[in-house]
Amino acid sequence: MSDTSKNATLTIGDATYDLPIYSPSVGPDVIDIRKLYGQAGVFTYDPGFTSTAACDSTITFIDGDKGELLHRGYPIDQLASKSHYLEVCYLLLYGELPSAAELENFEATITRHTMIHEQMHNFFRGFRRDAHPMATMVGVVGAMSAFYHDSTDISDERQREIASHRLIAKMPTIAAMAYKYSIGQPFVYPRNDLDYAANFLHMCFAVPAEEYQVDPILARAMDRIFTLHADHEQNASTSTVRLASSSGANPFACIAAGIACLWGPAHGGANQACLEMLKEIGTPDRIPEFIARAKDKNDPFRLMGFGHRVYKNFDPRATVMKQSADEVLDLMGVENNPILATAKALEEAALADPYFAEKKLFPNVDFYSGIILEAMGFPTSMFTPVFALSRTVGWISQWKEQLADPQMKIGRPRQLYQGPTERDYVDIENR
């Protein structure tokens, strides 16, 4: 943490307390309240932790007002248009973009780790066929600690490295197997001759009965989805991973906790909610009706996939994702897919409506990623698993950073207690 000469003064009754102020490399200053309870006997109150910095980090920075997302200082639009997912993984993990030799070695390492332990196949067969793929992923990823004992010692830097590589490499295999199991098809093994995104599509859509060729446009769109979801600062699932990690839990348990948090519709399920909204609208001719409903404050209907809690003017990821969506829709065609035709018409109608411009309700990354995944043939139940495998590298990078932080201690949020004060137990016959 950087040194500071600035202080904030807090006055409680007749007492005053000096609280150090730290200035980051970019972003708002933070007030250090770590000694506040010990000195003043009070807690701060911040439901949702929207005004609380719980850690130092050098990985990702977001400026919602500017629509800015930086990974290690590099703008997301530059990374998504000029780079590819595994290169961004290297950047997040190690802090710098790799040289050609470093990238080649990293890609080879990830490729060699894509297969999972054969005995883990039995885990999938223990689930019901109609189990949500996220439920399967939570269970299987958590169970990895039972199979990979040589990478669970978090005090060993080499074991942390191996666990990181294994999780990044095996998550697409696990997600694809969860999908195949849910539709009753045989598992497809990874192929070392395919790149990361193409390999995932092959494991999801190939069948033993015939040859499957991955279209490079779809592979590029898939890679962009992975890249644009790789990390997003201290969001709910990342904070969950850090909180689990603070207890000393093994890496597989921590990432499973992140997957469980991401499952929530307010987090990783947003693009699924967007597609469900499009299905509710049905056809382009009904869009004016639903836009009118979205403007009506008394109507519970809301446009999903528009606006963002963090980004106040535009989502920098959406610009790149829109380009991929247009490419995929041109390839796949929208004429025979009413959902995609409705999405295209809704985007045009909303962008042309002054109401949405005034309210800053712009199409966000979830709107476009949902369109792309739908066009590729993924069911909505697979949208969040795709998000989870994309975000795995972000979780791991944050996990590694926290373990190397000398200030790390177990997370222990406080509370504003509003329950009964102490009272005596009443025997059951007297209640």
Mean pLDDT for each consecutive 10-residue tract of the chain (431 residues)? 74 92 92 92 92 94 90 95 97 98 98 95 92 95 93 94 97 97 96 97 96 95 95 95 96 97 83 85 91 90 82 81 85 75 85 84 83 90 94 97 92 94 96 93
pLDDT for the residue numbered 325: 84
Does residue 366 have an active-site annotation? yes
CA distance 402 to 241: 10
pTM to 2 decimals? 0.90
Identify how many contiguous H helices and E strands the chain contains and give both numbers.
Answer: 18, 6
The pLDDT value recorded for residue 10 is 92
CA-based radius of gyration for the chain: 24
Spot the catalytic one: 165, 229, 308, 315. Answer: 308
Q: Which token pair is 21? A: 């102020």
Model pLDDT, residue 361 = 82
If you write DSSP's letter for every residue of 196-257 in order, what string do you get?
HHHHHHHHHH-BTTB-----HHHHHHHHHHHHHTS--SS-HHHHHHHHHHHTT--HHHHHHH
Reduced to 3 states, what is the DSSP secondary structure of residue 52?
Answer: coil
- In angstroms, the CA 102 to CA 91 distance is 11
Calpha distance 133→248 (Å, rounded): 27
Q: Look at residue 334 in the predicted model and tell me its pLDDT.
A: 65
Adjacency order of strands within the sheet including 60-63? 60-63, 68-71, 74-75
Identify the pLDDT of residue 4: 56
165 included as an active-site residue: no
Cα(312)–Cα(417) distance, rounded to whole angstroms? 34
Q: Which residues of 190-228 are buried (b: 16+ CB within 10 A; e: fewer)?
A: beeebbbbbbbbbbbbbeeeeeeebeeebbbbbbbbbbb
Give the SS3 label for residue 153.
Answer: coil
Residues in contact with 257: Cβ distance below 8 Å, sequence separation at least 6, in sequence order: 240, 241, 243, 244, 249
Given the residues 195, 223, 231, 366, select the one marked as catalytic. 366
- The pLDDT value recorded for residue 2 is 52
**31: phi then psi, degrees, rounded to nearest 5:** -100, 125
Tokens of 289: 């009706």
Residues facing residue 6 across a β-bridge? 21
For 89-105, letters b (16+ CB in 10 Å) and e give bbbbbeeeebeeeebee
